[in-house]
Amino acid sequence: MFQYRRKDRVQTLIRDEISYLLQREIKDPRLEFVTITRVKVSEDLQHATVFISVLGDEKRKKQAMEGLTRATGFIRREIGSRIKLRLVPEIIFKYDDSIEGVARIHKLLNEIRNDKPEKGI
């Protein structure tokens, strides 16, 4: 039987709570197009790295990171009141560019597929 480790449960809870806060509680317009892609918590549960994706150009990404930096204290406080932990992890936001990489690969594969001559049967 598969059993979750505590670290995995904490990562999931933090991801869900931050997503909820961004959708319902935080009214900063800079954070409208922010998506939490994953959360990585250290083994001692003292640090949580939250990876985000932002829909838009570089300016919007920069504004989103500024908004998240400004809201970090509020987010951490809310997580502390919603998730019962001895120590609320320090939250660090990082931009996750893996989605852009996947989109680029998908685009290149489509270009290759469209450039191939059709084979006759």
What are the sequence ranges of the domains in the chain?
6-115
pLDDT in tens, 27-52: 999 999 899 999 999 999 999 999 99
87-119 in b/e burial notation, b at 16+ Cβ within 10 A?
ebbebebeebeeeeeeeeeeeeeeeeeeeeeee
What fold does the segment set 6-115 form as a domain?
Answer: GMP Synthetase; Chain A, domain 3 (3.30.300)
pLDDT in tens, 84-96: 888 999 999 999 8
What is the C-alpha end-to-end distance of the chain, expressed in Å? 51
Indicate whether this model's pTM tops 0.85.
Answer: no
pLDDT of residue 116: 66
pLDDT of residue 2 exceeding 50, the answer is: no
